[in-house]
Amino acid sequence: MSFGKVIPLNTGVVIPQIGLGTWLSKPNEVENAVEIAVRNGYRHLDLAMVYRNQDEVGRALRKVIPSVVSREQLFITSKLWNSSHQPQVVEAELDETLKQLGLSYLDLYLIHWPAAFVPGSGLLPVKSDEEVHLDTETSLVDTWNAMIKLLDTGKVKAIGVSNFTIAQIQGIIDATGVVPAVNQIEAHPLLPQDGLVAYCKEKGIHITAYSPLGNNLVGIPMLTENVVIQEVANRLGATPAQVLVAWGVYRGYSVIPKSVQESRIISNFKQAELSEEDYKEVSSIGIGNVRRYNIPVTYKPKWNINVFDEEIEKSATAQVKIA
């Protein structure tokens, strides 16, 4: 079983350290995955409007609440999508998420990306040139102010961000005085982002790690196939996935590995513990070998915006509008 550890957020509520991710799960797989996860001890579920599977999650929740858990025992995160960054539609998208899930509140609601799309044309409004139609007028501060107002509705317990850089976070704090509870980021041994991690720690912002095993978006091997990871796993009597989850735990993150296979859902929740030597060995695979798997400018359709200032993004025509 999991060690059952929970981590306090700057709001006073606690987040379970291991959760189930639902990104890149195929239709008709998530309902079963969520039910299996909750029946096997998971209490933290990570969701989003753009994953297009929240209705399935809702069906699973009806199977386990209240027979297996009470609503209050679960920590449920969802995310505001880019096509609803405009302040006047922020609450409407939250309401749609709650309707899909069959819930009256979320424990945490995040701005999914620091990029706005034009509203009213679906989740991925595409221009004629096969690029996503960006809204370059709505700022992150505009959206963050609308998120802050949600706290007074009782529909969200905490608010945060996802895929935000130091400058983007500092910009919304400077403008509003409200510090995000969480920054959810891609985090694994090839992408330690030590500067961002140190900044978030200083500000009291908790980090949730997505894609802790890497991902298969770009056609390169998953980190579970790395020889060093496999050697550490063999030494600990653990799976490579457990080692990668443990790396994030060692760094203080909450970690949300995604799987739809029952054996892996259960196994990912059985925590291994890294010694300092184990941790350094796992971390060594990223030295001189930094890789970010998830960069929107590489998507199809392309987002022509520089989010992270990675080399591949330097030619993007749009910059993130912070304020």
Binding residues for substrate are: 112
Choice among 51, 109, 279, 293 that is catalytic: 51
Q: Are 258 and 5 in contact (CB under 8 A)?
A: no
Q: Which residues contact 99 (CB under 8 A, 6 or more apart)?
A: none
| CA–CA separation, 108 and 162 (whole Å) | 12
Three-state SS for 59-112 is HHHHHHCCCCCCHHHCEEEEEECHHHCCHHHHHHHHHHHHHHHCCCCECEEEEC
Q: Which residues contact 227 (CB under 8 A, 6 or more apart)?
A: none
| CA–CA separation, 90 and 48 (whole Å) | 14
Look up 51 and say whether it is catalytic: yes
> Which candidate, 180, 130, 136, places its Cα nearest to that of 160?
180
Q: Which residue has the tokens 């050697």?
A: 231
| CA–CA separation, 284 and 300 (whole Å) | 32
Residue 228 CA from chain centroid, whole number: 26
Task: Return the bridge partners of 159, or none.
Answer: 109
Q: What is the DSSP letter of 191?
A: B
Q: Which residues are catalytic?
A: 51
